[in-house]
Chain A
Amino acid sequence: KAGVTQTPRYLIKTRGQQVTLSCSPISGHRSVSWYQQTPGQGLQFLFEYFSETQRNKGNFPGRFSGRQFSNSRSEMNVSTLELGDSALYLCASSLAVGATQETQYFGPGTRLLVL
């Protein structure tokens, strides 16, 4: 079974631009979560989607948004990029929200550099 895939793997943008990152969960998984990892803040929760609905949101500004499609694939968008948005963005999938006996499976991440 294929793992979680994220595209693109690497991205360079300039301040003020916007970016869209994509995540394809493991087949059959319906919950997708996004995390941001930076050296200063560590791993922080961005959002969680299930059945095309955002179920939970972390403490990030409105410039960060996301969505989930009917096939469970998810995208996140960051508008008006700032230097501080440079990070590794990780996507994780699981069978369902609150699947407490299930681990979340992480993708390889998209490394975003904002110049």
Chain B
Amino acid sequence: KQEVTQIPAALSVPEGENLVLNCSFTDSAIYNLQWFRQDPGKGLTSLLLIQSSQREQTSGRLNASLDKSSGRSTLYIAASQPGDSATYLCAVYNKETSGSRLTFGEGTQLTVNP
């Protein structure tokens, strides 16, 4: 059974700081890994998707890496801004006997202070 863990559970940083969020998963037979952002009371916004054959993906100030063999991914946020404050969720996509599913971590709650 796939398990996804995110560290730290919460993070508070001053504006402008670079930061790293960590995600680990137990079953390396994944098809892709996604990072999502969730604002309070809202749905999920996809930030980055890394295919299992890829090592990293970049979008603006965000960079996500994937090491499938060790079951780890990191999300790097450069020059953080107060608008980055949200919960960041890591999810791995597994194909199962029939169908597929995303397995989520518990999330990292990020606060960027002005």
Contacts and interface: CB of A to CB of B under 8 A. Distances in A.
Interface of A: 4, 33, 35, 42-45, 48, 50, 55-56, 58, 88, 90, 92, 97-98, 100-101, 103-109, 111
Chain A at the B interface: mostly helix, strand, loop or mixed?
A: strand
Interface residues of B, number: 28
A88 B68 CA distance: 30
Contact of B43 (A98, A103, A107): A107
B32 A101 contact: yes
Interface in B25-52: 31-32, 34, 36, 41-46, 49, 51-52
Given A100-B51, A101-B51, A103-B34, A33 B101 contact: yes
Nearest to A106: B44
B99 A55 contact: yes
B55 to A, nearest CB: 16
Contact of B31 (A50, A56, A90, A98): A98
Given A100-B51, A103-B46, A106-B44, A33 B102 contact: yes
Give the 3 A-B residue pairs with the shortest CB-CB distance, closest first: A56-B99, A55-B99, A100-B31
